């Protein structure tokens, strides 16, 4: 595998990251995951704008290297992924310096690492729907920053796997915020409800695309928190994310959602999202 490391394209085995790297010591870094369909990037501008916002929030100066969308495209070509669906992972940390909590001096340059790998979602999950579980929110109140410090997400996702579920949904003060790796929405009486943009959720690119599709399809949207206690009244539920796309959730904990099958609004959004993927560039 050819990866990108601090300005160079090299075999993965040749990457040498210092044990003093602050990403390793403190989780002091940010990341993005961008999907590519047949070699074409989906909403890379939006992903890279969010990466800039995450860097700004952590006060890491944006490295002046090659444009990251070009890096992503080159990684796809160099790894023979042009005709496949793939995901590109990009990470920027504050760099390597003697361990001290406060920022190192200005001479420390960020560490930039990116790779591309083949990626395909199991289509049967879109057709049958998946199970999710609820877990208490245990993250810091800046979930809008896409930081590599993902321990609560890791623990939550592991609980989901152990429960035979696809995703863990965080519950903050009685309301579902989002999943460990995706945003969440529920449909009540034909209206899509989802947690509003705030510090408590990641502003998902898939979420933005789907809310835009709702507007285009005349599906009403209410950006308002869904109470865990109201889930049993939901007609449909979905998780949204680059690695899930529009995935129906048909069971949450022991509760069957709707009639236990992907609902009509979910199916309309899945279809529209599939078309939207054709706009990748
Ligand atoms: N995760 N919320 C969280 C906590 C996420 O980690 C993600 C994505 C999303 C969806 O965002 P988007 O639609 O922009 O992919 C929401 C990525 C895929 C990951 O961590 O691998």
- Residue whose CA lies nearest to ligand 1 atom number 9: 182
- Residue whose CA lies nearest to ligand 1 atom number 16: 182
188 and 138 in a common domain: yes
The predicted structure's pLDDT at residue 5: 98
Tell me the H-state helices in 28-149: 44-58, 68-78, 123-128
Phi-psi region of 179 (alpha: psi -120 to 50; beta: other; left: phi over 0): beta
99 and 222 in a common domain: no
What is the CA(105)–ligand 1 centre distance, in A?
31
- The token duo for 244 is 């899930």
Last residue of a domain, one of 77, 99, 118: 118
Distance CA 101, CA 110 (A): 16
Residue to substitute in 202, 205, 244 for testing ligand 1 pocket (most ligand atoms within 8 angstroms of CB): 202
The predicted structure's pLDDT at residue 120: 87
Distance CA 166, CA 93 (A): 29
- Residue whose CA lies nearest to ligand 1 atom number 19: 181
The predicted structure's pLDDT at residue 106: 84
Question: With a 6 A CB cut-off, is 182 part of the ligand 1 pocket?
Answer: yes
146 is catalytic: yes
- Domain housing 11: 2-118
Question: With a 6 A CB cut-off, is 129 part of the ligand 1 pocket?
Answer: no
Question: With a 6 A CB cut-off, is 178 part of the ligand 1 pocket?
Answer: yes
Number of domains in the chain: 2
136 and 222 in a common domain: yes
Nearest to 152 by CA among 137, 171, 141: 137
The predicted structure's pLDDT at residue 140: 97
Helix, strand, or coil (residue 15): coil
8-state DSSP, 147: B
136 and 235 in a common domain: yes
Question: With a 6 A CB cut-off, is 243 part of the ligand 1 pocket?
Answer: yes
pLDDT in tens, the chain (281 residues): 999 999 999 999 999 999 999 999 999 999 999 999 999 999 999 999 999 999 999 999 999 889 999 999 999 999 999 999 999 999 999 999 999 999 998 889 999 999 999 998 888 999 999 999 999 999 999 999 999 999 999 999 999 999 999 999 999 999 999 999 999 999 999 999 999 999 999 999 999 999 999 999 999 999 999 999 999 999 999 999 999 999 999 999 999 999 999 999 999 999 999 999 999 99
98 and 78 in a common domain: yes
Question: With a 6 A CB cut-off, is 32 part of the ligand 1 pocket?
Answer: no
Of the residues 12, 67, 107, 146, which is catalytic?
Answer: 146
The predicted structure's pLDDT at residue 122: 85
Last residue of a domain, one of 118, 137, 161: 118
Q: What is the pTM of this model?
A: 0.97
Question: With a 6 A CB cut-off, is 242 part of the ligand 1 pocket?
Answer: yes
Strand partners, 112: 92
What is the CA(181)–ligand 1 centre distance, in A?
5
The predicted structure's pLDDT at residue 121: 84
Distance CA 107, CA 245 (A): 40
Residue to substitute in 182, 238, 247 for testing ligand 1 pocket (most ligand atoms within 8 angstroms of CB): 182
Distance CA 59, CA 157 (A): 29
Distances (CA, A) of 218 to 114, 207, 248: 38, 16, 20
90 and 28 in a common domain: yes
What CATH number should be reported for the domain holding residue 206? 3.20.10.10
258 and 274 in a common domain: yes
Burial of 257 (0-12, 13-18, 19+ CB in 10 A): buried
What is the CA(146)–ligand 1 centre distance, in A?
8
């Amino acid at each position: 595998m050819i990866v990108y490391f601090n300005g160079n394209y090299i075999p993965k085995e040749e990457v040498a990251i210092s044990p003093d790297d602050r990403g390793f010591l403190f989780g002091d870094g940010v990341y993005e995951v961008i999907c590519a369909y047949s070699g074409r990037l989906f909403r890379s501008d939006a992903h890279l704008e969010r990466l800039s916002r995450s860097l700004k929030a952590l006060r890491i100066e944006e490295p002046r290297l090659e444009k990251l969308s070009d890096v992503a495209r080159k990684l796809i070509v160099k790894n023979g992924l042009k005709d496949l669906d793939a995901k590109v992972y990009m990470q920027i940390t504050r760099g390597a310096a003697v361990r001290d909590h406060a920022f190192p001096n200005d001479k420390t340059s960020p560490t930039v690492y990116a790779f591309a790998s083949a990626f395909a979602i199991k289509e049967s999950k879109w057709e049958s729907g998946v199970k999710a579980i609820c877990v208490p929110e245990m993250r810091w109140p800046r979930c809008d920053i896409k930081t590599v410090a993902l321990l609560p997400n890791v623990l939550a996702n592991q609980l989901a796997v152990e429960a035979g579920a696809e995703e863990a949904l965080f519950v903050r003060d009685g309301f579902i915020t989002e999943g460990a790796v995706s945003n969440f929405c529920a449909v009540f009486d034909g209206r899509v409800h989802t947690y509003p943009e705030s510090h408590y959720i990641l502003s998902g690119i898939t979420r933005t695309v789907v809310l835009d599709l709702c507007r285009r399809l005349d599906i009403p949207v209410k950006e308002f928190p869904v109470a865990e206690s109201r889930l049993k009244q939901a007609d449909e539920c979905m998780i949204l994310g680059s690695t899930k796309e529009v995935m129906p959730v048909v069971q949450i904990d022991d509760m069957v959602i709707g009639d236990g099958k992907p609902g009509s609004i979910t199916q309309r959004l899945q279809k529209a999202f599939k078309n939207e993927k054709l706009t990748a560039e």
